[in-house]
Amino acid sequence: MDLDPDLSALRPLGGFFVLHASCPVPPGRTADAAPLVHAYAPGYGNAAADVQVPVQRADPLGHRVRKVAAALGAPETRVAASVAQQGLAARLWSVALACAARYGHVPDLDPRLLHWDPEATAPDDLWLTEVRARPADTDTLADVVLNTHLAPLTEAVHARYGVARGLLRGNAASALAGAGRELDRWARRQGHADTAARARSLTAGLLAHPLLAGTGTLTGTSFRRRSCCLYYRVPGGGVCGDCCFPSPPGPGRSRRQPGPVRSPEPARSPRPPDSGRPPRSSPGARSG
């Protein structure tokens, strides 16, 4: 079916999968809410770095990282930056995969049209000001999410917070696998075998993309990544269900040995970062 202007087919999935579509931008947003292009701009605060984005623009990425750091009690800013990046990646993958699997099309998520409110949580953090349909093949999905959003987001987080690019690629892969797994579970519960199969096929194809290849191992719908998002460094954080470490690393600890991949438990319902500890930021990935 064609994309409808309200993307109403996403609503039954809830949480990470919903995308609001409205123009103009909804009222009552925070001062840091802005098109996502602002979050990716190089040389933040340097007018010579990007003449298309004003120096006085909102800084949604910086705002989100500070908010996550405060909520987690993160001892290092790079830990909060990693968690924030993975959370945004999870939202983008969830929306794109769900549209592809349910509609057979994906909306153009142009970062000038897709707005982000770093104060809000799913599904109220993102809204699209214009719905323009694109094909739902793997190459288009990679362009819509990986090339347009996650590649520049990786560079921004790496440049601003010193998080390794390989770790951020692992976060993007983990977020994709989690979104695909939860969409598959929802579709099978609803008896939509074609939607489930489409979600699995697209997830596997995207994980083979050059920007994600080698980040982990997909077995069925379960994923074991080869890097760590650093969540274990949060007080009481533990390791995630798809982590390369069997337990929080320390002296003498090693990565998991290759073997069967354990499927993480279903995702908990998202909570806002200022109501205590945020949930793990990929659908289906748990901590502890």
Within a domain: 98: yes
The pLDDT assigned to 22 comes to: 79
The pLDDT assigned to 262 comes to: 34
Residue ranges of the chain with per-residue pLDDT less than 70: 43-57, 251-288
Whether the Cβ atoms of residue 160 and residue 130 lie closer than 8 Å to each other: no
pLDDT in tens, 46-71: 333 333 444 446 799 999 999 999 99
Whether omega before 123 lies within 30 degrees of 0, making that bond cis, reads yes
Q: Which pTM was predicted?
A: 0.85
Within a domain: 25: yes
Tokens representing 121 are 């949580």
The pLDDT assigned to 231 comes to: 93
Q: Which residues form the domain of 73? A: 8-39+57-246
Within a domain: 189: yes
Within a domain: 271: no
Considering its fold, how many domains does the chain have in total? 1
Within a domain: 281: no
The pLDDT assigned to 2 comes to: 83
Within a domain: 160: yes
Tokens representing 138 are 């793997």
Within a domain: 232: yes
The pLDDT assigned to 28 comes to: 80
Provide the greatest CA pair distance for the chain. Answer: 55
pLDDT in tens, 101-157: 999 999 999 999 999 999 999 999 999 999 999 999 999 999 999 999 999 999 999
User: Which residues have a Cβ under 8 Å from the Cβ of 154 and sit 6 or more positions away?
Assistant: 85, 165, 168, 169, 172
Within a domain: 285: no
